[in-house]
Amino acid sequence: MIKTINILFSNQVSLYCYNSNNILKTVNNTNLIISKALLKDISIFGLKNNIHLNLLLSDNYLSEEHKSIFKNNSYSVTYKLAHNKLAHNIDDTSSILVYDLSDEFDFLLSKRPIKYSNMVIRITKNRLNSILDIFSKVIEIADRVNFIHVDLPEYTSSEFDVYKKQLEQISDYLSHKIFALNYMELNFLTDRLLLFNHNNCNAGIDHITVGPNGKCYICPAFYYDNPENNFGDIYDWEIPNTHLYEFENCPLCKMCDCYQCKRCIYLNLTLTGDVNIPSKQQCVLSHIERNASMKLLENEFINKNDFYPIYELDYLDPLDLIKGTKSISLDDRAKHVANILSAPLKNYNKMDIIEAIYKIEPMMLTKIKEILCNGNVRDSNGIR
């Protein structure tokens, strides 16, 4: 169910996710700002449907006139995202600051007077080897840092090797720092430690995006990629095959324990052709991060009891379990996947787990009994 609508205030709003700036070129260069009438309609829609509104601003200042639209007509609203230049002047620590790495990055950092809750740093492949350096600077001014790989589709084994080494170095750095700091989060290293299920992006499931043209999109990247590729407008919209955006209909992700992976829908569609299938690059990147988190857990400074276990894997792409060099039988695959996915349940006793299953779906126990109590007696066609 859609709970949030992201509103692109203009067609100049910065990208804050796994999408190259190249796709910005497809949108008209003239500055298109969302109309006040449309903003008012969206705010009323949010009010009537209990939908939170998230206004994405970037380098556009929001006038008092714009803010007044939401005052009496909205359920709830936040103003998020401030890009390089504007970020320099933002004093609202709850805003998400988005930085594209550029020459002025250091200058901007040096000007930060206060600590921010959330920063997004969009990194390109030619700066991968400076992640540790960048991280050591931003760690003092943000509670949480999200590194986003802007040109992930172009990554090959050499980029992944550089990234892996950087993560190892950051892991060493962080393990010493983690107690010196009150608490800090780094999306590619600490998220996996704190999660026991997938932290999906959930675009198309619990949020959609409205462009400055009033059309609806799965996320901002779809607008920038092709404004014609929308699924209606705020007055009449329907996401076709919406079930494919849900985790349970993603056959590869269901076998994976890279819980920190965003499973970017836009990248899925552009790289593999299907919204529910991740690219090789997405899977390898997420597994490198997952493995770095696992190594971090081995560090003597970490109290392992504070975190769920992460098991060693001998692959970076779960597709290998099905069609690749690690291909194993159906039963062995089921055993392996069940093992890694149930790691957070390792210390719970059997009766607690069975009781939880019953509370969720009593019939599930019936099905489990059918499998375990009946055995697997089948004829040659696989029929019991």
Partner 1 sequence: MDKENYLDKPQQWKEGRALTITFIVTEDCQLRCKYCYIQKKGNNNKMSLYIAKTSIDYILKNNVLFPEQSVIIEFVGGEPLLEIELIEQISDYFKTQMFLLDHPWFNSYRINISTNGLLYNDKNVQRYIMKNKYHINLTISLDGNKEKHDLQRVFPDGEGSYLKIIGNFILFLNQFTDGRTKVTVSKLDIPHVADSVLHLFSLGVKFVDINCVFEDVWEIKDDLLFEEQLIKLADEIIDKKMYINYSCSFFDKTIGKPMDSFYDNENWCGAGKMLAIDPRGGFYPCLRFIQYSLKNRKEKLIGDAINGINTNKLRPFKLLSRTAQSDHECVTCSVARGCAWCQAENYDCAKSNTIFERSKSICKMHKARVRANNYYWSKIGEPV
- Name the residues that contact partner 1, by CB under 8 A: 240-241, 244, 249, 251-252, 269, 271-281, 319, 322-323, 330, 334, 378, 381-384
Q: In sequence order, what are the residues at sequence separation of 6 or more whose Cβ sits closer than 8 angstroms to the Cβ of residue 76?
A: 46, 52, 53
Minimum gap (Å) between residue 277 Cβ and partner 1: 4
Minimum gap (Å) between residue 328 Cβ and partner 1: 15
Which is nearer to partner 1, 47 or 337 (by Cβ)? Answer: 337
Minimum gap (Å) between residue 281 Cβ and partner 1: 8
- Listed in sequence order, the DSSP H helices in the chain are 36-48, 64-71, 84-87, 105-110, 131-138, 157-177, 191-194, 220-225, 265-272, 280-297, 330-341, 350-360, 362-374
Minimum gap (Å) between residue 125 Cβ and partner 1: 17
Which is nearer to partner 1, 303 or 380 (by Cβ)? Answer: 380
Which SS3 state, helix, strand or coil, does residue 90 take? Answer: coil
Which is nearer to partner 1, 322 or 345 (by Cβ)? Answer: 322
Minimum gap (Å) between residue 272 Cβ and partner 1: 5
Minimum gap (Å) between residue 74 Cβ and partner 1: 31
Which is nearer to partner 1, 349 or 381 (by Cβ)? Answer: 381
Which is nearer to partner 1, 84 or 279 (by Cβ)? Answer: 279
Which is nearer to partner 1, 50 or 229 (by Cβ)? Answer: 229
Q: In sequence order, what are the residues at sequence separation of 6 or more whose Cβ sits closer than 8 angstroms to the Cβ of residue 28?
A: 11
Minimum gap (Å) between residue 149 Cβ and partner 1: 16
214-220 LR contacts (CB < 8 Å, sep 24+) = 214/34, 214/35, 214/38, 218/245, 218/265, 218/266, 218/275, 219/6, 219/17, 219/265, 219/266, 220/6, 220/8, 220/13, 220/15, 220/16, 220/17, 220/19, 220/56
Question: What tokens appear for 381 in the block?
Answer: 């066609």
Minimum gap (Å) between residue 198 Cβ and partner 1: 17
Residue 334 backbone phi and psi in degrees, to 5: -60, -40
DSSP string, 121-184: EEE-GGGGGGHHHHHHHHTTTBSEEEEEETTGGG--HHHHHHHHHHHHHHHHHHHHHTTTSS--
Which is nearer to partner 1, 56 or 319 (by Cβ)? Answer: 319
Q: β-strands 236-237, 232-233: how paired?
A: antiparallel
Which is nearer to partner 1, 171 or 276 (by Cβ)? Answer: 276
